[in-house]
Amino acid sequence: MQTLILVLDLVGTFVFAVSGAAKGVTSRLDLFGILVLSFAAASAGSIARDVVIGAIPPAAIGDWRYLAVSVLAGVMTFAWFPVIHRLRSAVLVFDAAGLALFAVSGAQKALEFGLTPVMAALLGMLTGIGGGMTRDMLVAEIPTVLRTELYAVTALLGAAVVVAGHVLQLPSTGVTIAGAVLCFGLRVIAIRRGWHLPAAEPAQGP
Amino acid sequence: MQTLILVLDLVGTFVFAVSGAAKGVTSRLDLFGILVLSFAAASAGSIARDVVIGAIPPAAIGDWRYLAVSVLAGVMTFAWFPVIHRLRSAVLVFDAAGLALFAVSGAQKALEFGLTPVMAALLGMLTGIGGGMTRDMLVAEIPTVLRTELYAVTALLGAAVVVAGHVLQLPSTGVTIAGAVLCFGLRVIAIRRGWHLPAAEPAQGP
Amino acid sequence: MQTLILVLDLVGTFVFAVSGAAKGVTSRLDLFGILVLSFAAASAGSIARDVVIGAIPPAAIGDWRYLAVSVLAGVMTFAWFPVIHRLRSAVLVFDAAGLALFAVSGAQKALEFGLTPVMAALLGMLTGIGGGMTRDMLVAEIPTVLRTELYAVTALLGAAVVVAGHVLQLPSTGVTIAGAVLCFGLRVIAIRRGWHLPAAEPAQGP
């Protein structure tokens, strides 16, 4: 089980890093910039979570495997960008898997550090979406997650399942799987159906 | 007194959250993005302060009321944007009140955690302006506070009064009120008179 | 020796602060914004390092001299921008010196706090480049270091020399000097020769 979680966590890191590297390529960064975006997209969410809950040094900085996977993803994307670009629908599905995993593992770590249930769910969401937000801000764009699609909400729901299970003292393996499946499933359906949240209409103002 | 401070603090949070949500609406974010900007505008300053002084977890994350007030402000702004937009002069005055409160309470917390007087005053200012800076950066704009109007300086002066009172061992309630009144008064006058700091003239360069 | 390091550290702070202030002037910020960019360019890298390694409060916030030097550099740049602009080639060489110093001192501090060798080298690099990245993000631009020139890599190599010396238990004064000289030398040659890293070609995608 422990090994399975580690493998899934590294898969999530890899996919997020690919999304960062692809953004770096399309923003015409150089190889160093692409690797920075790989690492930021994969790890900024969990670093922000660890800093505010006091888990110092953050796991993404203390464990070399996350960095190694990010660099590998960045170099592969740099070398074979046309292939990655052609596979972008598949990358979206893997990204949904990464989001699900990061959301549930983020919520669980926040609970372990004594955060309140509501904040643990939000920090789970932050773990899932913080990397993509940082990736977009590094290339001076408004983070996609703030504008379009049903993305953060699926992470929040997945994290909320983990937190609810903790409050109700259900077995943690089961609720973790349930939370991840819920987030992943909702996200994939949202991609297929084009679900999104409402936006306000600024032109209504006088 | 304690209750009064809490009420004022939550009023400040509410007004800053409204400013974040309004920026989210005019930047055409979706509902989730608007709520993120509400919370960021209200809490990013105090979170940054708490992280650098070592107050972990930050108050804005450990206490659910700040989040609840931010979400409430965000949803109201989303639903009634035309009304908020029409009341924007009044919002500016409340914003001055929020700035004053965050500046003095930020300075006081930094003093409690043993920061030097100069840095405590600057962290008071950061508590006041950090939320607005984060709000603007999240929508890929240069923070307003860096460009126009007398804003940060009023927060710095209010925080400096608190710090000076602490150094001179004056009663803290009195200096806190004096600092907040000074910041609020200066800010309102600056809005009325259009006061601003000088900017350099880059065209002078060869 | 200790005094020499402090002097060099403050020189690095001064030069980085000048680069921040110059960016503030050309981005048409007001005097407050220019001072914020001075301090951010000089100190954001070391603050980020100190937050993730747990050195709270960060040195740049606990020691008033870094702030004083930043403000001095900002005011001078504001007052005499044409002069600074004319001296920009010399400023680039001093910037290389600042980069070298920050990279080696950043790596050493990370080692003292028990980070792994690879991460200590990366945190040394972050100490060197984090200020410039923050400076650019504050004016809503893509950080230069992600796009052009050989900059971060020279900092990484300098920091790597310090880390390698630590692993091999060589005398720390010697490896620090060697790391700084390597970084400075490479950076100056890179400026002269226009060396840069490859960028990917997004147009290859279908």
CB C135 within 8 A of CB C41: yes
pLDDT of A86 > 90? The answer is no
**Torsion sign across C-alpha atoms C2, C44, C164, C169:** positive
Put simply, the answer to whether A86 touches C148 (Cβ < 8 Å) is: no
Amino acid C205: pLDDT: 45
Amino acid B203: pLDDT: 61
Closest partner residue to B57 (CB to CB) among A53, A140, A204 is: A53
Under the banding of pLDDT at 50, 70 and 90, the label for residue C203 is: low
DSSP 8-state code for residue C30: B
Please state whether the peptide bond connecting residue B58 to the residue before it is cis, i.e. omega within 30 degrees of 0. Answer: no
User: Residues with Cβ < 8 Å from C43, sequence gap 6 or more?
Assistant: C13, C58, C60, C61, C66, C67, C70, C131
What distance in Å separates residue B1's CA from the closest CA in chain C? 30
Could you state, in order of their start, the residue ranges of all structural domains in chain C? 2-196
Mutate to test the interface with B, among C46, C61, C65, C81 (most CBs of B within 10 A): C61
Query: If phi over 0 gives left and psi between -120 and 50 gives alpha, with beta otherwise, what is residue C28?
Result: left
Secondary-structure percent of chain A, ordered helix, strand, coil, rounded to 5: 80, 0, 20
DSSP 8-state code for residue C176: H
Q: Length of chain C in residues, anyone? A: 206
User: CA of B194: how far to CAs of A124, B94, B185, C50, in Å?
Assistant: 44, 17, 14, 39
Put simply, the answer to whether C142 touches A139 (Cβ < 8 Å) is: yes
Taking each continuous run of H as one helix and of E as one strand, the counts in chain B are 9, 0
Structure tokens at A30: 């150089």
Q: Which residues pair with B199 in a beta bridge?
A: C30
Please measure the distance between the N-terminal and C-terminal CA atoms of chain B and give it in whole angstroms: 58
Closest CA to A45 of A73, A20, A27, A22: A20
Give me the mean pLDDT over the C133-149 stretch: 91
Q: How far apart are CA B32 and CA B39, in angstroms?
A: 11
CB C45 within 8 A of CB C155: no
The amino acid at B12? G
Closest partner residue to A146 (CB to CB) among B33, B56, B78 is: B33
Tens digits of per-residue pLDDT, A104-147? 999 999 999 999 999 999 999 999 999 999 999 999 999 989 98
For every one of its 206 residues, what pLDDT tens digit does chain B have, with 9 covering 90 and above?
Answer: 567 777 778 888 999 999 999 999 999 999 999 999 999 999 999 999 999 999 888 988 888 899 999 999 999 999 998 888 888 888 888 889 889 999 999 999 999 999 999 999 999 999 999 999 999 999 999 998 998 778 999 999 999 999 999 999 999 889 999 999 999 999 999 999 888 888 877 765 44
pTM of the shown model: 0.89
Amino acid C162: pLDDT: 95
Closest CA to B49 of B127, B163, B118, B152: B127
Taking each continuous run of H as one helix and of E as one strand, the counts in chain C are 9, 0
Closest partner residue to A153 (CB to CB) among B32, B62, B140 is: B32
Closest partner residue to B198 (CB to CB) among C30, C57, C140 is: C30
Put simply, the answer to whether C33 touches B116 (Cβ < 8 Å) is: no
Amino acid A163: pLDDT: 96
The SS3 assignment for B194 reads coil
Structure tokens at A101: 């995993």
What distance in Å separates residue A170's CA from the closest CA in chain C? 34
Please measure the distance between the N-terminal and C-terminal CA atoms of chain C and give it in whole angstroms: 58
Closest CA to B10 of B51, B57, B59, B77: B59
Q: How far apart are CA C78 and CA C72, in angstroms?
A: 10
DSSP 8-state code for residue A144: G
Give me the mean pLDDT over the C136-160 stretch: 92
Put simply, the answer to whether B85 touches A205 (Cβ < 8 Å) is: yes
Considering only A37-41, B171-175, C197-201, which range has the smallest mean pLDDT? C197-201
What distance in Å separates residue B45's CA from the closest CA in chain C? 15
Tens digits of per-residue pLDDT, C60-81? 888 889 999 999 999 999 999 8
Q: How far apart are CA B202 and CA C1, in angstroms?
A: 40
Find chain C residues with C-beta within 8 A of A139's C-beta.
142, 146
The amino acid at B176? T
Mutate to test the interface with A, among C52, C137, C154 (most CBs of A within 10 A): C52
Tens digits of per-residue pLDDT, C71-107? 999 999 999 988 888 888 888 888 898 899 999 999 9
Q: Select the more confidently predicted residue: C144 or B163.
A: B163
Tens digits of per-residue pLDDT, A45-64? 999 999 999 988 898 888 88
Put simply, the answer to whether B61 touches A153 (Cβ < 8 Å) is: no
**Torsion sign across C-alpha atoms B183, B189, B194, B197:** negative
Q: How far apart are CA B6 and CA B40, in angstroms?
A: 19
Structure tokens at A193: 């159906």
Mean predicted lDDT score pLDDT of chain A:
90
Neighbours of C83 (CB within 10 A): 12
Amino acid C89: pLDDT: 83
